[in-house]
Amino acid sequence: MHLQAQSNSKSEKSIEYKKLLCPNCKSENIIKKGFRITENRGKIQRYSCKDCGLRFVQDNGFYRMRNSPQKITLCLDLFYRGVPTRKVQEHLQTFYPHNSSNVSIYKWIIKYAKIISNFTNKLKLNVGSEVQVDEVEYHRRKSHKQKRGIDTNYLIDSVDRKTRFMLNSNYVKSRELKVIKQILKDIKDKTNNKIQVITTDGFLLYRKVVKKTFGYNLKEGKYNIEHNVVNASAGEGFNHPIERLHNTIRARTKTFRGFHGSIDSANAILKGLSVYYNFITKHQAINCCPFELACPELKLKSSNKWLELIELGSKN
């Protein structure tokens, strides 16, 4: 059994190797050509193209990084489990001789949150019939260099009631019509028109955009989707799945210091938080990660799901 498992793993690696293309001429005529020896990442396989002669290493998401993938993904995991970047730096100082600054850790978070979310945003989802959409208000500093006032921004997100999968999350400057319209369009594309009910609060722009985005059926004489409006201030109750999600988001972001004046970095950090919520940690209501129900074809075999997702994101 052990020998059979070893042969299977070797055959899988050879299949991966045959899929490589030359980054210069896109040729498939690739051979292995020694190793690149690095101080902190060990030996890295080097390849050579027999057509154009280029020697290269495979870009698995960590190309030209001076730290090992295990160390980088450790920092990502610690950060999204609630440890600040300076505390992560102190943790590294205890266990790794080659330490990294809190600024480097912050840059890793931004970089790899973008790489993974670019991959996960393309996944088609197997969801239920109802999605809930809401927003969280944030106050962002306009500049990290000096105090120049506070901007009121919003995280507009959505969750599938059945799988608890966070379908979309966008940190935006304001709740404009075009922003909400784009978010609802993304939900429509990801779910393959499976959504039959959208539940929101009483914000008037939702009333304008929801039915317009999903369209009207002339043959049946009705809109293609039902818009369920729940106004908590009028005593109509709460949208519990998304409010529970907001509690999770607030628990992690309440210690953030204004996102340091950048909309782009704030959006990237919260995209990473949605990756953590969907793919890394188990949801108590369903006793598994939401992606296991919403994306059953995506098989993450390793215990280090951050590493697998980065490698998948680098290939797409």
pTM of the entire predicted model: 0.83
CATH architecture assigned to 130-297? 2-Layer Sandwich (3.30)
DSSP label at 198? E
Instruction: Tell me what percent of the residues of the chain surpass a pLDDT of 90.
Output: 40
Supply the pLDDT for residue 145: 64
pLDDT reading at 112 higher than 90: yes
Within a 10 A sphere around the Cβ of 149, how many other Cβ atoms? 7
43: three-class secondary structure by DSSP = strand
Tens digits of residue pLDDT in 67-79: 888 999 999 999 9
From 62, 25, 16, select the one nearest 42 (Cα to Cα).
Answer: 62
Domain positions in the chain: 2-57, 69-120, 130-297
How far apart, in whole angstroms, are the C-alpha atoms of residue 243 and residue 266? Answer: 21
Tens digits of residue pLDDT in 282-300: 998 899 999 999 998 998 8
Tens digits of residue pLDDT in 227-284: 888 887 666 767 888 989 999 999 999 888 767 668 888 999 999 999 999 999 999 8
From 51, 47, 53, 55, select the one nearest 17 (Cα to Cα).
Answer: 47
106: three-class secondary structure by DSSP = helix
pLDDT reading at 94 higher than 90: no
Name the band, by pLDDT with cuts 50, 70 and 90, for residue 58: confident
Supply the pLDDT for residue 1: 44
Looking at CATH, the fold of the domain delimited by 2-57 is given as: N-terminal domain of TfIIb (2.20.25)
3 state SS for 226-293:
EEEECCHHHCCCCCHHHHHHHHHHHHHHCCCCHHHHCHHHHHHHHHHHHHHHHHHCCECCCCECHHHH
Supply the pLDDT for residue 2: 44
* Same fold yes or no, 2-57 and 130-297: no
pLDDT reading at 306 higher than 90: yes
DSSP label at 51? T
Residues 123-149: what's their mean pLDDT?
A: 83
Tens digits of residue pLDDT in 192-239: 878 899 999 888 888 889 888 888 777 777 778 888 888 876 667 678
How would you class 3 by CB atoms within 10 Å of its CB: exposed for 0-12, middle for 13-18, buried for 19 or more? exposed
Residues 35-61: what's their mean pLDDT?
A: 80
pLDDT reading at 15 higher than 60: no
